Amino acid sequence: MKYSVISSFLGKSKDRFNEYNQPKSLAEKFELASQIEGIEALECVFPYEVNDAQETKELMEKYNLAIAAINVNVKAEPEFVNGGLTSGDPSVRAKAVQFIKDAKDFAQEVGADKVTCCPLGDGYEFAFQADYEENWNRLKETFSQAAEYKPEICLYIEYKPSEIRGTCFLDNAAKTILLIKEIDKKGLGVTIDFGHSTYGNNNPAEEISVLHACNIPFYVHINDNDALWDWDYFCGSKHPIETLEFVYYLMKYGYDDYLTSDTSPTRWDIKKVFETNNRFTEKMVNIVEQMKKDGFDEVVKSKEYMDVWKFVEEHLFK
């Protein structure tokens, strides 16, 4: 497995009440990432964190780090406060689409093969607040326009149950798959965030399987939470067995892209948090490899769950 980290978590972060860690320049984030064991790349936020391709390429070369993805932010502009990609104003929707196109240009310049976009501002809070069909059609319109531009730079849509809206229009993998199928254009995939799936009352391993069955490319963010909110905890801290199953299916389907840490090191050492993500996930990889060598696939096919459980128990807790 290859590991990367969302660079914005390497500096200052904040919630509604507190601020954590010290602000860092882009160069300082690259330097810190290069010191984290296992990290080979960064996912950087465009346009607020990265926007100078030459500077970014120089930092990539200096610290021997790749760019796993460009994360395009379509929620922070004042015009996007009531939604960017689904705004009732065509000019606002056009601006949101242009952000994605610009992110694709930037990705291409720095040698990245993907852009990921989580449309957190597009959603609603209350009954009768939104025209659901109208907004669905706007999502098809805007993501279709974005997909048509440089389809060789795949656009991965990241779903999330809520934040910054009470309910995001794209709140689970199934709905995101349906959107992509209805658009029916090349260059679209899904970013599956382990924690978004979990706190949306879904099973990350199952959602990976459905994406594979639908022949839709996916890109992975790793973390954990308590299934009540997207706390961005470190891997395995709440769902170790589900993480094992998640890794099992990633390996089953031959996933060979980056596993990108989407974890917020609020009260904990930044370097140690991301090393924990990489170390724990790699241990899950090793356990899955050993389980498969010992015949786990056949045990799963037997449908006798207590045999499956014993197999997992003996390999995970030996």
User: Tens of pLDDT along 119-161?
Assistant: 999 999 999 999 999 999 999 999 999 999 999 999 999 999 9
Provide the CB-side half-sphere exposure for 106 (13 A, CA): 28
Q: Is the pLDDT of residue 286 over 90?
A: yes
- pLDDT (average), residues 209-216: 98
- For 144-147, the CB contacts below 8 A with 24+ separation are 144/183, 144/185, 145/97, 146/97, 146/100, 146/101, 146/104, 146/117, 147/183, 147/185, 147/186, 147/187, 147/188
What is the predicted pLDDT for the residue at 208? 98
Percentage, residues of the chain above pLDDT 70: 100
Closest CA to 65 of 6, 4, 154, 1: 4
pLDDT at 318 over 90: no
pTM of the model: 0.97
Q: What is the pLDDT of residues 56-90, one digit of tens each?
A: 999 999 999 999 999 999 999 999 999 999 999 99
- Rounded to whole angstroms, the Cα distance separating 294 from 311 reads 9
pLDDT in tens, 85-112: 999 999 999 999 999 999 999 999 999 9
Domains and CATH numbers, the chain: 2-316 (3.20.20.150)
Give the pLDDT mean for 289-302. Answer: 96
Q: How far apart are CA 84 and CA 202, in angstroms?
A: 27
Convert the pLDDT of each residue in 9-28 to its tens digit: 999 999 989 999 999 999 99
Residue 248 has which token pair? 């099992």
CA 49 vs CA 23, 46, 155, 183, 210: distances in Å:
12, 6, 19, 30, 33
The average confidence (pLDDT) of the chain is 97
Question: What is the distance between the alpha carbons of residues 262 and 212, in angstroms, rounded to a whole number?
Answer: 22
CA dihedral of residues 161, 154, 67, 83 (deg, nearest 10): -40
Q: With the C-alpha atoms ordered 104, 217, 275, 203, is the resulting torsion angle positive or negative?
A: positive
**Whether the predicted pLDDT of 265 surpasses 90:** yes
